[in-house]
Structure 1
Amino acid sequence: MTAQQLTKDKQVSKTRQWEQAMNRLYINFQDYSKGALQGFGDEDIHQARVNSRKLLTLLSILDPAHSATEELYSTFKQAQKKLGKVRDADVLIASFKERRKAAKEAGDTKTAELLKAVIRHQKDKRKAFRKKLEEALPKLSGKTLDLQWNRFISEQLEPLAAKKDANVVMRELEVAFEQKQKTCKTLFKAPGAAESTEAFDALHELRIAAKELRYTANAAAFALNQKFHAHEAIYKDIQEQLGVINDKRVWLETLNAIGREELDVGKKTWAAFTEGLKAEVLEALHQNEVVPVTVSTKL
């Protein structure tokens, strides 16, 4: 067998790996999308979003500028965004339901009433998000997408896969993460860091960088060297630590955006609950091991 034939066979094998991995994710996305539209089940929404995110990850490796896959990438991006709105509302509502149950068991009726009002408000928002998803997702996961996908697999995948090395992408993502981590550490060393929008925005960007590494390690595992195989677990842990901080921040911002008057809550109850959430943000910040916070902070 000639060297040329060996190279060709190797490329065919590489393309086949990409095709199998991406088709599996695509089928999952389609199946979970159908399930999501049938009843808006939490797991269907979550898995449809996860699989669309993994597809976006692999498309970004193959075509970083999205010049060849713009239409396909845009479709998955729109789907992910609309699924994400519903998923985020699901998570917030579930969390606040748990808090309400705990408040009721503790005999804290005023806090329980506050949480009931927040849940009701968020359910109304989720209803609107679900309506938009119900209108958009059939178009984003229907026959048009099938045509785009089949064209991508048959015409575009092989030349794109021939030019890309997922290991190089992983290393680039690592470097970007390390730079963002360094920035965060510097910002959180400053006095009053917990009051700094800049510091928390940087932390949010760091969480996104960890998420990208985690998803790349998972979705592109078939194309990665052994040294990257542990990265999914490593960056999942990092993402979760930073996610706890981010979630509590988002909940606090959500409450403030709604406002005490809109929820018809007394000043003392409102102050006690929001101060408690602020304390939880600080506790999560101090407990995280990704960006150590040793200075005294006040939110």
Structure 2
Amino acid sequence: MTTEHPSKDRQMSKSRLWEQALTKLYINFQDYSKDALNGFADEDIHQARVNSRKLLTLLSILDPGHSVTADLYSSFKQAQKRLGKVRDADVLIGSFKERRKAAKAADQPKTAKLLKAVIRHQKAKRKKFRKKLKKELPGLIRALEAPWTHFIGNGLAELAARTDANVVMRELEVAFDQKKKACKALFKGSEAGSKEAFEALHELRIAAKELRYTANAAAFALDQKFHAHESLYKDIQDQLGVINDKRLWLETLQSIGRQELNAGKKVWAAVTETLRQEVLEALYQNEVVSVTEIPGGHHS
């Protein structure tokens, strides 16, 4: 009579669950990347980036020091970075197109003209990002093939056997709470509205994003109590994302400069002030870090 080894079976099924999750994301990443290179459609770029982000998340859980997955991690990270540049430009251009439409509807030709100049400027940048993506992404996809096959066949089982995604989740929660405390302290004090305060908010958004992606990508390996985390931290990430996006758009506008965009002083001041007020409004409305008053900010 043969003796069963339930613990070995458990490890096998654990490894298989990890393999299924990783393989699905890997196939999605490849498919969306190939589609993205064909027409640079917004959604293809977005999904290729999301799937690479989820793969990076799972690899970080399995191998925090990247001692086994260094090649894979590096390639996915580069792909995500290239996709991210195009995606961020897509989002900015989309937002400024909406603003231009509103300015035209409100019969503000000077504002519409300035916004058109911003769109043209950002489209030229996006063209460079797309060119770089088209040049580099196929090579990154090819470079992944051999280490990926080797990892799935050789390295994964051992890493999966000693990984507890729940421990990682708890650690991420602790890190998020610490960042939230630091952020609240900055926005309560005289530093509210400073570059340091906004940087802390940006860090908090990244921590929320990590929790959200971990809850999603590693759902198969997490206790029930963590299953609501994806929507909880997505909401936090969304609220902080609105602030971050608007702040980056304002910074983008200022870094291009009035002369480059051939704008008059009056319209330039009006557009930049509108964006600045939008940043403050998004800050006041967020429910993650309470903000009562920003020095120099009007809060009605």
Equivalent in the alignment of 2:160: 161
Counterpart Cα distance in 1 of 2:51 and 2:4:
36
Equivalent in the alignment of 2:232: 234
**CA apart distance, 1:3:** 8.4
Counterpart Cα distance in 2 of 1:224 and 1:79:
27
Equivalent in the alignment of 1:217: 215
SS of corresponding position for 1:81? helix
Q: Report the CA distance shift for 1:255/1:296 in structure 2 as closer, same or farther (over 3 A).
A: closer
* 1:176 correspondence with 2:150: no
Equivalent in the alignment of 1:185: 184
**CA apart distance, 1:294:** 1.6
Equivalent in the alignment of 2:287: 289
Equivalent in the alignment of 1:88: 88
Counterpart Cα distance in 1 of 2:214 and 2:20:
16
Counterpart Cα distance in 1 of 2:5 and 2:253:
63
Q: Report the CA distance shift for 1:4/1:62 in structure 2 as closer, same or farther (over 3 A).
A: farther
Map of 1:35-74 to 2, 5 A cutoff?
35-74=35-74
Specify which of 256, 265, 268 is matched with residue 267 of structure 1: 265
SS of corresponding position for 1:193? coil
Equivalent in the alignment of 2:8: 8
Counterpart Cα distance in 2 of 1:3 and 1:87:
55
Map of 1:11-160 to 2, 5 A cutoff?
11-142=11-142, 144-160=143-159
| Runs of 4+ more than 6 Å apart | 1-4
Deviations 1:117-146 (A, max 9, x none): 00000000000000000000001112x312
Asked whether the 8 Å contact 1:180–1:205 carries over to 2, the reply is yes
Asked whether the 8 Å contact 1:89–1:122 carries over to 2, the reply is yes
**CA apart distance, 1:192:** 5.2
Asked whether the 8 Å contact 1:191–1:295 carries over to 2, the reply is no
Equivalent in the alignment of 1:206: 204
How many residue pairs match? The answer is 297
Asked whether the 8 Å contact 2:192–2:294 carries over to 1, the reply is no
Gaps of 5+ in 2: none
Deviations 1:66-117 (A, max 9, x none): 1111001000000000000000000000000000000000001110000000
**CA apart distance, 1:298:** 2.3
Aligned identity (percent) is: 73
Counterpart Cα distance in 2 of 1:298 and 1:228:
41
Counterpart Cα distance in 2 of 1:145 and 1:178:
35
The RMSD of aligned alpha carbons is 1.2
Counterpart Cα distance in 1 of 2:263 and 2:52:
39
Equivalent in the alignment of 1:256: 254
Asked whether the 8 Å contact 1:282–1:297 carries over to 2, the reply is no
Q: Which amino acid aligns with 1:111?
A: T
Gaps of 5+ in 1: none
Asked whether the 8 Å contact 2:191–2:197 carries over to 1, the reply is no
Q: Which amino acid aligns with 1:200?
A: F
Q: Which amino acid aligns with 2:277?
A: A
Counterpart Cα distance in 1 of 2:238 and 2:293:
23
SS of corresponding position for 1:66? coil
**CA apart distance, 1:148:** 1.3
- State the TM-score, normalizing by the size of structure 1: 0.97
Counterpart Cα distance in 2 of 1:37 and 1:282:
37
Counterpart Cα distance in 1 of 2:191 and 2:44:
42
